[in-house]
């Protein structure tokens, strides 16, 4: 192996080791991380666990089975015996299967919206913080206006205006998160840009783009990473809320929010229909929040020993 690469790997391993030691002190964060990784794997391999057609097709004779009960399902032109581990919903669909495929939707929404928000919010925040002056005033006042509207209301308004689709749902959630990133990036850049190494870079003739990308950005990644982790949880929560209200992913597509919404009618006969997606949402969002808190502590240079 190339010695440079070797050295780089060794150094990264050491840095990661230090970071991991910090993070692993926080047991909750470690458990949460394990959970998020498990959910992620389930989302990625959802098709191997349950076929998508299976979790969306009706099998009315098996409606509202209790957890653990089995039924005969006519699927792909044959009768198969199927055990409903978490029971079945009012159309006889496997709840666990729908949760598994719902996890995929939630993960995509969580990561895609945060990526969009970081990209747009990051660029705007960088311009506001680095350029200052009129740019700063315009961008920050626009941010204040966006922040003055309650996030969920803003997302509802956007979906209602643009129409109901997966892409519009992403736009709506990302837009509600953008102001947060603008503020974080702007504040961090203002903190770093007056340090002498930035002035030194200007002195050797570095252009603005190089200064921002090579000198400022690498020094402000920690707060962005923390905010991004926390926001993945919120995005999943908002997506579920919008779907619950009928503004996001619509049935028969499996999504945690619309599962909850459909289950509402059966709360008296089959409460497990509500508990399954409800507890899943709770655990996922909680896990992302706990990881975010753990990362914040682990990445804080003041706590480094």
Partner 1 sequence: MSALVTVKNLKKYFPLKTGIFRRETVWVKALDDVSFDIQDGETLGVVGESGCGKSTLGRTILRMQEATAGEIIFGGDNIAAMDKESLRLKRREMQLIFQDPFSSLNPRMSVGDIIGEPLEIHLALDREERKKRVEELLGVVGLSPYHLRRYPHEFSGGQRQRISIARAIALNPKFLVCDEAVSALDVSIQAQVINLFMELQSRLNLTYLFISHDLSVVRHISNRILVMYLGKAMELTSTSKLFETPLHPYTRALLASVPVPDPHKKVSRRLLTGDVPSPINPPPGCVFHTRCPQAMDRCREEVPQTKESTPGHFVACHLY
- Choice from 28, 35, 96, 201 touching partner 1 (CB under 8 A): 201
Length of the chain (residues): 305
Name 92's Cβ contacts closer than 8 Å, sequence gap at least 6: 58, 59, 60, 61, 62, 63, 65, 71, 73
- Choice from 23, 35, 56, 202 touching partner 1 (CB under 8 A): 202
Which residue lies nearer to partner 1 by CB, 134 or 161? 134
Residues 210-239 that bind partner 1 (CB under 8 A): 210, 214-215, 218-219
**By CB under 8 A, which span of 67-75, 176-184, 205-213, 222-230 interacts with partner 1?**
205-213
Residue 13 CB, nearest approach to partner 1 (Å): 15
Q: Does 204 interact with partner 1 (rule: CB under 8 A)?
A: yes
Size of the residue set binding partner 1 (CB under 8 A)? 19
Which residue lies nearer to partner 1 by CB, 120 or 201? 201
97 neighbors 49 (Cβ within 8 angstroms) = yes
Question: What distance in Å separates the CA atoms of residue 185 and residue 68, rounded to the nearest whole number?
Answer: 50
- Choice from 35, 206, 245, 283 touching partner 1 (CB under 8 A): 206
Residue 15 CB, nearest approach to partner 1 (Å): 10
Residue 130 CB, nearest approach to partner 1 (Å): 16
If one counts every other C-beta atom within 10 angstroms of the C-beta of residue 250, the result is 14
77, 129, 219 from 132: Cα distances, Å: 66, 6, 19
Q: Which two tokens stand for residue 193?
A: 């840009």
Residue 18 CB, nearest approach to partner 1 (Å): 13
Residue 202 CB, nearest approach to partner 1 (Å): 7
Name 204's Cβ contacts closer than 8 Å, sequence gap at least 6: none
Which residue lies nearer to partner 1 by CB, 126 or 230? 126
State the binding string over 169-198 for partner 1 (x if CB under 8 A, else -).
--------------------------xxx-
**By CB under 8 A, which span of 77-85, 110-118, 178-186, 206-214 interacts with partner 1?**
206-214
Where along the sequence are the contacts to partner 1 (CB under 8 A)? 7, 11, 195-197, 199-207, 210, 214-215, 218-219
């Amino acid at each position: 192996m190339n010695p440079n690469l070797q050295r780089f790997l060794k150094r990264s391993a050491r840095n990661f080791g230090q970071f991991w030691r910090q993070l692993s002190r926080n047991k909750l964060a470690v458990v949460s991380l394990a959970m998020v990784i498990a959910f992620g794997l389930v989302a990625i391999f959802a098709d191997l666990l349950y076929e998508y057609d299976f979790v969306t097709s009706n099998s009315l004779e098996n409606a509202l089975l209790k957890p653990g009960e089995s039924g005969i399902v006519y699927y792909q032109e044959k009768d198969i015996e199927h055990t409903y581990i978490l029971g079945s919903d009012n159309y006889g669909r496997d709840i666990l299967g729908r949760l598994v495929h719902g996890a995929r939707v939630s993960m995509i929404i969580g990561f895609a919206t945060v990526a969009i928000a970081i990209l747009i919010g990051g660029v705007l925040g960088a311009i506001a913080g680095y350029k200052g002056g009129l740019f700063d005033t315009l961008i920050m006042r626009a941010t204040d206006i966006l922040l003055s509207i309650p996030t969920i209301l803003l997302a509802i308004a956007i979906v209602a205006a643009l129409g109901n689709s997966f892409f519009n749902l992403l736009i709506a959630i990302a837009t509600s998160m953008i102001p947060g990133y603008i503020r974080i990036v702007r504040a961090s850049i203002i903190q770093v840009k007056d340090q002498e190494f930035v002035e030194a870079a200007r002195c050797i003739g570095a252009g603005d783009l190089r200064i921002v990308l090579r000198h400022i950005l690498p020094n402000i990644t920690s707060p962005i990473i923390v905010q991004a982790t926390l926001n993945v949880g919120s995005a999943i929560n908002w997506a579920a809320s919008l779907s619950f209200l009928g503004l996001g992913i619509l049935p028969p597509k499996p999504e945690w929010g619309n599962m909850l919404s459909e289950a509402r009618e059966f709360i008296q006969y089959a409460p497990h229909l509500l508990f399954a997606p409800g507890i899943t949402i709770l655990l996922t969002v909680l896990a992302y929040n706990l990881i975010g808190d753990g990362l914040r502590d682990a990445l804080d240079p003041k706590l480094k020993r």
